[in-house]
Amino acid sequence: MKLILIGYMGSGKSSVGKKLATVLKCPFIDLDAYIESQEQKTISQLFQQKGEIYFRKKERKYLEELLKGTAPIVLATGGGTPCYGDAMKYLVTHKDTRTVYLQCDLDTLTNRLFHEKDQRPLISHLNDKEALNDFIRKHLFERSFYYNQAELKVPVKHLNIDEVVEHVVGKLI
């Protein structure tokens, strides 16, 4: 089985994914890190030098590449991955995959991302929490249609990583 974690940036996909992979005894792959290794550039560099459309095309190519294999994996997607083209449909209909939406509330995302904004190209230009909060609110509204198509939805606001993992594993059994 391939377990696909989706959700907004800062929702915990990578942190939860690493722990889930350990519990499920399978490899963890962060799609953004995989793209960076294949392209030999950071996500920020790809956005700056090649633009978002180039990035999204490469993102889809590598997503398909990773899902072609038969081995079980836990894959953390980028926050926008399921929202471009038919990516979400591809994820939910691909054989032997389970999609999990890590639902994180607006205030938690704002607080987490404000301290990481310089490393995140989509929000690096936002200079105060109010602007960041407005940006995230708009994105969550736009992306909720895609995120909510996931097979499992896990509200993560009051849960630590171990509790999220326990919840997901419990739903898989």
Annotated binding site: 10-15, 32, 56, 79, 120, 143
96-119 mean pLDDT: 92
Q: Which residues contact 142 (CB under 8 A, 6 or more apart)?
A: 83
* Residue 15 predicted with pLDDT over 90: yes
Binding residue ranges for Mg(2+)? 14
pLDDT at 124: 85
Query: Tell me: the pLDDT tens digits for 21-54?
Result: 999 999 999 999 999 999 999 988 998 899 989 9
Q: Measured in Å, how far apart are the chain's first and last C-alpha atoms?
A: 12
Q: Tell me the CATH number at 63.
A: 3.40.50.300
Q: Which two tokens stand for residue 135?
A: 């940006």
Confidence at residue 48, expressed as pLDDT on a 0 to 100 scale: 87
Annotated binding residues for substrate, written as ranges, equal 32, 56, 79, 143
Averaged confidence pLDDT in the chain: 94
Domain contains 143: yes
Annotated binding site for ATP: 10-15, 120
pLDDT attached to residue 46: 92
- Could you tell me the residue range of the domain that residue 94 belongs to? 2-157
pLDDT tens profile 141-164: 999 999 999 999 999 988 999 999
Q: How many distinct structural domains can be found in the chain?
A: 1
